[in-house]
Structures are given as structure tokens and as C-alpha cells.
Amino acid sequence: MVLKAPTHHIAAKPGEFAETVLMPGDPLRAKYIAENYLENARQINEIRCMYAYTGTYKGKPVSVMAHGIGAPSMAVHAYELYNLYDVKNIIRLGTTGGISPDLKLRDVIIAMGACYDTSYIKQFKLDGTFSAIASYSLLRKAVESAERLGIPYKVGNVLSTDVFYPEDGNSQIKWMDMGILSVEMEVAALYIVAAKAKKNALGILTVSDHIITGEKTTAAERQNSFTNMMEIALEML
């Protein structure tokens, strides 16, 4: 099957995405970034409410697009951006549930790697277990950006899971003993797609709730107030 842009999922024309795309899960967070940080932003996609915009930040081209919930949604959009729109870098800006006792609400995590329970990797028929890791070039830029901005951060491993409501309430907490910082649903899929496409990927996450303590933020806070990770990513350009 020969794929061409536009697709069933992205209405943008070839050339309408910048080389770097920031990808929050929430379409309204994508809209927030475009309206509050980008200059001359124009909307280039609204299919399935996966809003996408291209503009500039301090004169540098950048796009932002929502990816939805879970590995399949992330993988579809990232695949098309990398392979059909010649995007070079995707930075996921997402929320995550903390499991490390060292984390508190609104802490920023730069995901060096992602353990996973998604079956997306199985299609490649690898004789072993693939390590889903970030692109070092982006990881280094993110750390440097956070330090310039004076934003505290933690670099480490996260868990990407397909299960939001686990039947066994302790199954995700067990990962804490392996040094996993938090749980989310998309970073591993992004890293897998990027590896296959020979492109760059990074996940920058904000702790929106803590699985151990039960603390959590509101939907409005998750949409509009998690600006540290946004600024870290934009200053990487």
C-alpha cells in the first residue's frame, strides 16, 4: 500500500509541518500552545479533533499537534508525520502518573527510556526485547534547556502501558522497585516508531497525579497550567 499525504488522519498538505512537532495528547493543550506561544500560528489539521498548527517561536518554525490517547493513536500520527511529512523531531508533551516517592505534582520528567506492555513492537518480529529509548540529541537539548530556564527536572525511565484502569491495583506500583518514575501511555510507541523511521523522539512529561498518594490535578490544570514542559521544549528549537 502506497501512502501519500494528506491521509485519513491528517489533512495538512506536504510541507505544512515544520521539522519539529510538539505533540501533547490533549487537543486543547495543542490549541493552548499555539495560541499562547506561537507567532503567526495557522491551523493545518482538525480531523478527529487532533488539532495541528504551524507557526514560529522566536522566529524558528515549529508545529504542534495532538496525538490522542494510547499507543495506537500516537503510533498512527507519529508514523505519518515521520514518513509522509518528513518531520525530523517529535517531542511528546504529556501528563503522567507518578509512582516514585521522590515525585510530587507538576514535577517535570524527561523520559530517557520507556518500559512498555504494548504489543506494537510485535509486528517487527524481533528475536529479543527492544529497548525504547529517547534520541540523545533531543535529550541533551532538553536538559540544557531546563537548566537555562531554571526549571527542576528528573531524567529517568517511565512505563508506557495500554491499561489505564488495571484490574490488579498493584501491577503498576511494582515497577517502582525497578526505578521507574511514572506511568503513561504513549512514549514507548513514539520511541519505537522513531527508531524504525530513523528519526528523533523525546518525551517530556508533567506529573498530573500520583498513584501512591492519590493526589491529582484538575482537567483545567492539565490543559492550561503545565507550562514548564512546554517552555523547555520550545527553548530547544
Bridge-based pairing of strands 132-133 and 154-160 is unpaired
Q: Which residue has the higher pLDDT, 2 or 84?
A: 84
Q: Is residue 27 part of a domain?
A: yes
8 located within any domain: no
Least confident of 33-42, 76-85, 187-196, 222-231: 222-231
Q: Supply the CATH number for residue 228's domain.
A: 3.40.50.1580
Residue 96 pLDDT > 90:
yes
Q: Which range (24-38, 148-162, 167-181) has the least confidence? A: 167-181
Confidence of residue 158 (pLDDT cuts 50, 70, 90): very high
Helix (H, G, I), strand (E, B) or coil at 29: helix
Q: In this structure, is residue 120 part of a structural domain?
A: yes
The model's confidence at residue 1, banded by pLDDT at 50, 70 and 90, is: low
Domain count, the chain: 1
Check residue 170 and give its pLDDT.
72
Q: What is the largest CA-CA distance in the chain?
A: 49
Provide the pLDDT for residue 116.
96
In-domain check, residue 46: yes
Is 168 labeled as catalytic in the residue annotation? Answer: no
Residue in 86, 168, 177, 209 annotated catalytic: 209
- Span 39-95, pLDDT tens digits: 999 999 999 999 999 999 999 999 999 999 999 999 999 999 999 999 999 999 999
Give me the pLDDT at residue 2, please: 67
- The secondary structure element, H or E, covering residue 142 is helix 136-149
Q: What is the mean pLDDT of the chain?
A: 95
Query: Using an 8 Å Cβ cutoff, are 30 and 17 in contact?
Result: no
Q: What are the angstrom distances between the C-alpha of 184 and each of 83, 127, 161, 205?
A: 25, 26, 6, 9
Instruction: Decide if pLDDT at 15 tops 90.
Output: yes
From the list 181, 131, 177, 176, the residue with the least C-alpha distance to 153 is: 181
Query: Has residue 11 been placed in a domain?
Result: no
Report if residue 87 sits inside a domain.
yes
Full domain range(s) for residue 75: 20-234
Identify whether 5 is part of a domain: no
Whether 7 maps to a domain, the answer reads: no
Tens of pLDDT, residue by residue over 178-192, are 999 999 999 999 999
* Cβ proximity of 201 and 190 under 8 Å: yes
Distance in angstroms (rounded) separating the CA atoms of residues 102 and 104: 7
